[in-house]
């Protein structure tokens, strides 16, 4: 004859305990993985050469930098970062010399200046800066006519640095603060403001280095 099962003796919960030593090991491994990931991100951040400059002074959060003459590869940019793809192809060998050109930081995005007034456009241009010391004569011509090689003379630039993903709202807010600060200091500007981004797309926002800059009169 079968006996009925005593449900009162059936445990309602099954618990599993992890020894304290094992838990510590798990935490140590997780911490080590996190540290390795952060180091990898930082290495990726610093892998590109940063264009040189010298600091000439500050006012509030605004820093004044003197940049040497620069050579830029420039392309019109679209909402899908089409300019980046054109420029990356150029430095990867899509040029008449078939040269591979090292990537530098920052990548510069600026408002496209209308050729005639009152034409208004919200299109932007994107630029890769050629390695320091590279002259126009040493810079190969692009194979794609949508990429242009331009030169910038030595100039002084006002800059505000910020973190995050550089959304249009963030860039506008920083630009407004910079214009207000320069106006209060009585400093005249030249041309339009531009965005400088230093990091790879997978860099977390809190580690990203972004800057809004504008040339100033000396």
130: alpha, beta or left? (left if phi > 0; alpha if psi -120 to 50)? beta
Residue 83 has a CB neighbour count (10 Å cut-off) of: 24
Which pLDDT tens digit goes with each residue over 28-83?
776 666 665 555 444 544 467 899 999 999 999 999 999 999 999 999 886 566 78
Using CA atoms, how far apart are residues 129 and 91, in angstroms rounded to an integer? Answer: 10
Domain map of the chain by residue range?
A: 49-216
pLDDT digits (tens, 9 = 90+) for 112-126: 544 333 433 345 899
Contact 137, 185 (CB under 8 A): no
Whole-model pTM: value is 0.75
**CATH superfamily for domain 49-216:** Regulatory factor, effector binding domain (3.20.80.10)
Q: How many CA atoms are closer than 13 Å to the CA of 199, on its beta-carbon side?
A: 21
Supply angle C-alpha 22, 39, 206, rounded to 5: 105
């Amino acid at each position: 004859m079968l006996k009925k099962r005593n449900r009162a003796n059936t445990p309602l919960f099954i618990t599993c305990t992890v020894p304290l030593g094992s838990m510590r090991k798990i935490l140590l491994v997780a911490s080590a993985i996190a540290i390795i990931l952060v180091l990898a991100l930082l290495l990726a951040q610093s892998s590109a050469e940063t264009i040189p400059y010298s600091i000439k002074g500050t006012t509030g959060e605004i820093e004044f930098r003197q940049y040497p003459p620069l050579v830029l590869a420039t392309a019109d940019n679209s909402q899908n970062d089409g300019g980046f793809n054109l420029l990356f192809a150029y430095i990867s060998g899509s040029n008449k010399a078939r040269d591979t050109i090292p990537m530098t930081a920052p990548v510069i995005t600026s408002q496209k200046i209308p050729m005639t007034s009152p034409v208004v456009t919200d299109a932007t241009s994107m630029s890769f800066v050629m390695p320091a010391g590279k002259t126009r004569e040493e810079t190969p011509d692009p194979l794609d006519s949508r990429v242009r090689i331009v030169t910038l003379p030595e100039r002084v630039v006002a800059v505000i640095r910020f973190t995050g993903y550089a959304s249009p709202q963030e860039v506008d807010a920083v630009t407004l603060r910079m214009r207000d600060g320069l106006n209060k200091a009585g400093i005249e500007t030249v041309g339009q403001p531009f965005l400088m981004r230093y990091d790879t797309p997978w860099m977390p926002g809190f580690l990203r280095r972004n800057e809004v800059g504008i040339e100033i009169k000396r």
